[in-house]
Amino acid sequence: MKDKVVVIGGAGFLGSHLADELSDAGHHVVIYDRQQSRWARPDQEMLLGEITDASRLSTALDGARYVYHLAGIAEIAEASEHPAAAIETNIIGSTRVIEACIKAKVERFLFASTVYVYSNKGSFYRVTKQATELIVEAYAEQYGLAYTILRYGSLYGPRAQPWNSLRDFVEQGIREGRINYPGTGHERREYIHVKDAARLSVEALASAQGNDCLTITGAQIMTTAEMLSMIGEILGVQLDIRFELDETATRCQHYTYTPYRYTPRQGRKVVPQHFMDIGQGILELIEAAHMDGGK
C-alpha cells in the first residue's frame, strides 16, 4: 500500500515539483492548496482549502504518513510590505497545520524554511520562518511531533514565480537587452535547481535521524555579476548590465556574501551529488521565456 503524503502549498513553484518527485517515488500524493494546481498529474489528488481551515485540513490529512508544509508568503518584498499578513499566514497558519498534523497522528512533519534564518537579512520573511521553526521544536518537545526542517537556498527553474530572481534576469535580458540589478554584483549565491531541491526533499524521508534541520543549497557558488554575464553569453548578446547602488540597494533585505552568522541551532548542509548545471538551467529558463513570448 502506498504511503499517503500531503503537500501543503503543492500548487506552487517548489511544491509542484516536490509533488512530482514524491509521485515518481511511489507515494500517494495529495496536493492541498488554496488554488488549483496547473501541474497536477492524473495520479495525484487535488484538494482546495486554506491552511487556517481546520476542518478541511483534517480531511486532507486523514491517513497521511508524511506532510510537507510549503504554503505561505514566500517573497521577501511582499512580507516586508505586509508584515501583519506575513505573520498571520506564515506563523499562525503554520501553527494550524502543525496542530492538524498532531491530531491526524502524522509520522513526520516537514517544514519548508530558508537559509535566511542564519542571517540578519530577509526582513519579516526571515522572522516568520525563525519563529515557526521555534514553534515546530516546541510542539515536538511537548507533543512528540517528529519533524524535519528544510532550509532552502536560492531556487530557480521552470514554474518559478515572476519575482524569482533568475527568471526576472532572463526575461529582462530577452525583452530589453539589459538587466538592472539593485546591488554591487559581488553578491554570492549557491543556486540550486528546483528539481534538485525537490529530489533532496524526498530523500530526507529516508533519513534515520529525526527532528533535524537540513540546509538544501546548490554545489555551484557564483557572484551575481558572473551569473548575469553567463545569461548574456547564453543569449548570445552583449547585455547592458546596470548595478544600481542607490538608496534602495542599501536597504536591500537580501544577504550579500553569505547568509551564515552564528545561531545556536545549526543544520546539516546537503547538496545534490548529481545536479542540473547552472548553465543548462539558465538555457532552460531562456527557452521557457521564448515559449511565453518573453512576457
| Residue scoring higher pLDDT (207 or 32) | 32
pTM of the model: 0.86
- Residue 101, domain extent: 4-291
Q: How far apart are CA 75 and CA 179, in angstroms?
A: 20
Placement of cell 535566511 in the chain: 116
DSSP-derived secondary structure letter, 43 = T
Arithmetic mean of pLDDT, 100-124: 93
Whether the per-residue pLDDT at 270 is higher than 80: the answer is no
Please enumerate, as own/partner, the contacts of 50-58 that have beta carbons within 8 Å and a separation of 24 or more: 50/93, 51/8, 51/89, 51/93, 51/94, 51/96, 51/97, 52/92, 52/93, 52/96, 54/96, 54/99, 54/100, 57/32, 57/96, 57/97, 57/100, 58/100, 58/103, 58/104
Q: How far apart are CA 198 and CA 282, in angstroms?
A: 18
Contact 170, 132 (CB under 8 A): no
Whether the per-residue pLDDT at 274 is higher than 90: the answer is no
Of the listed ranges 125-129, 198-202, 273-277, the one predicted with least confidence: 273-277
pLDDT at 265 (0 to 100): 57
Placement of cell 512580507 in the chain: 79
52 φ, ψ to 5°? -95, -5
Contact 186, 256 (CB under 8 A): yes
Whether the per-residue pLDDT at 121 is higher than 90: the answer is no
Of all residues in the chain, what percent carry a pLDDT higher than 90?
69
pLDDT at 260 (0 to 100): 58
pLDDT at 250 (0 to 100): 43
Q: How confident is the model at residue 289 (pLDDT cuts 50, 70, 90)?
A: confident
Q: How far apart are CA 140 and CA 142, in angstroms?
A: 6
Q: How many domains does the chain have?
A: 1
Arithmetic mean of pLDDT, 218-236: 90
Alpha-helix runs per DSSP H in the chain:
13-24, 54-61, 76-81, 83-86, 93-103, 123-143, 165-176, 194-203, 224-235, 247-250, 278-291
* Grid coordinates given for 252: 536591500
Of the listed ranges 15-24, 140-149, 221-230, 262-271, the one predicted with least confidence: 262-271
Angle ∠(81,82,83) on CA atoms, nearest 5? 105
Whether the per-residue pLDDT at 247 is higher than 60: the answer is no
CATH of the domain at 23: 3.40.50.720
46 φ, ψ to 5°? -115, 125
* Grid coordinates given for 79: 512580507
Q: How confident is the model at residue 195 (pLDDT cuts 50, 70, 90)?
A: very high
Whether the per-residue pLDDT at 253 is higher than 90: the answer is no
Q: How confident is the model at residue 66 (pLDDT cuts 50, 70, 90)?
A: very high
Q: How far apart are CA 152 and CA 143, in angstroms?
A: 26
Arithmetic mean of pLDDT, 103-123: 92
The SS3 of residue 250 is helix
Whether the per-residue pLDDT at 9 is higher than 90: the answer is yes
**C-alpha radius of gyration, the chain, whole number:** 19
| Mean of pLDDT over the chain | 89
Whether the per-residue pLDDT at 96 is higher than 60: the answer is yes
pLDDT at 254 (0 to 100): 77
Q: How confident is the model at residue 118 (pLDDT cuts 50, 70, 90)?
A: confident
pLDDT at 249 (0 to 100): 46
